[in-house]
Amino acid sequence: MEEELRGLQLGDNTQRTQQKQEQVPLHEGAATAIIPWKYCNVYANNRSPERLFLFQGQSIFIQQRLDEKVTIDQNTGNVVWDGAYLMAKFFESHIGSLQGKSCLELGAGTGLVSIVAWLLGATHVLATDLPGPHTEHVQKNTGVNARRIAQERMQEIQRHEKAVVGAEEGREDMRMRRRRNRQERTRMIELDSDNLSVAPLDWNTPVLPESVKFQGPFSYILCSEILYLPKFHRALLKTLTKFSDEHTVVLLLWKQRGLGEERFFDIACRPSTGWKVQYLERTVLDAEFQDQPYGVAQMTRIPTTSTPSSFIDSSS
Ligand SMILES: C[S@@+](CC[C@H](N)C(=O)[O-])C[C@H]1O[C@@H](n2cnc3c(N)ncnc32)[C@H](O)[C@@H]1O
């Protein structure tokens, strides 16, 4: 991470070449949407003020805060870490729909993972980070994207409904069309921007403001790149325990930087904690990153009476 942070402050030639490609102004519907991830979003120390991501065929614009110094202890959430992209991609590829589920993101940073969870239809997503500018930053990214995407989705649904009526009026192979339209409609989930909210949550004092209507337990708790500070591991585990129950699945993704990230699991695996950890194969991650040192695990609470539920069967 030291090197990545140095890159963030100073940059180097390789990154500058990649940044050049990304520094095309990004606006809604811009042609840059077809630039593959490989060329536009490679490193966490990418210094573009705005970054474009594509999920579910939808553009997500993420603002990065480049005005402040980033160190291992401060402002790490100002930029999108590759782990956030990987976790969002994992959800898109392996889960598909989160309809009817609630999600809590810890240390949300720029909010990318929460936005994608919402896009996948989660009934309620709560993105959290430290109070102050950290949550304001998440709020800005989630608010702007959710409002625009919800509006675009509504227009898409209306266009689709008009097309259905038009086709039916024309009596054009009606039975076939109806069947296809039913299938398409299930992919067209209406999105309500109110289902994506933001709140301050410090793991050292894990209490959500009273104004937060849904306080858990959550179906999923999402943790991207938050294991790099072992001094917070105990607090983090306490936070996970507070907002979960036996049905909750915690998903953790981290880069193996040798900062003691895995020590978190030594604590979590102690029988007294009541948690079960399952490491997932790296093959569940986006193909471009499978040769990189990323770890991914899911955790569930051990039920007192029955077998724990499984998020993804790593043996399959
Ligand atoms: C490396 S960043 C990862 C950000 C984001 N999850 C991503 O992958 O792009 C770590 C995040 O954890 C947050 N964080 C650090 N200590 C925290 C604490 N005690 N309570 C809550 N959040 C914290 C930081 O503000 C930052 O957003």
Name the domain count of the chain: 1
Ligand 1 pocket, residue 232 CB under 6 Å: yes
Give Cα 242 distance to the centre of its chain: 21
* Å from CA of 3 to ligand 1 middle: 18
Ligand 1 pocket, residue 137 CB under 6 Å: no
Q: What is the pLDDT along the chain (316 residues), one digit of tens a residue?
A: 655 655 444 333 233 333 333 333 333 333 344 444 443 444 445 678 898 899 988 999 999 988 888 788 888 888 899 999 999 999 999 988 899 999 999 999 999 999 999 999 999 999 999 999 999 999 999 999 999 999 999 888 888 777 767 666 665 566 666 666 555 554 678 899 999 999 999 999 999 999 999 999 999 999 999 999 999 999 999 999 999 999 999 999 999 989 999 999 999 999 999 999 999 999 999 888 888 899 999 999 998 765 445 555 444 3
Q: Is residue 252 part of a domain?
A: yes
CATH number at residue 86: 3.40.50.150
DSSP string for residues in 160-202: HHHHHHHHHHTTSSHHHHHHHHHHHHHH-----GGGEEEEE-B
Please identify which residue in the block is written with the tokens 């193996």.
Answer: 256
R_g of the chain computed on alpha carbons = 20
Q: Kindly report the protein residue whose alpha carbon is nearest to atom 13 of ligand 1.
A: 107
Q: Is residue 269 part of a domain?
A: yes
Q: Is residue 28 part of a domain?
A: yes
Q: Is residue 316 part of a domain?
A: no
Q: Is residue 240 part of a domain?
A: yes
Q: Is residue 312 part of a domain?
A: no
* Å from CA of 177 to ligand 1 middle: 48
* Å from CA of 260 to ligand 1 middle: 16
Q: Is residue 178 part of a domain?
A: no
Q: Is residue 181 part of a domain?
A: no
**Residue 87: which of 107, 64, 114 has the closest Cα?**
114
Ligand 1 pocket, residue 130 CB under 6 Å: yes
Which residue range forms the structural domain that includes residue 78?
2-149+190-301
pTM of the model: 0.83
Ligand 1 pocket, residue 268 CB under 6 Å: no
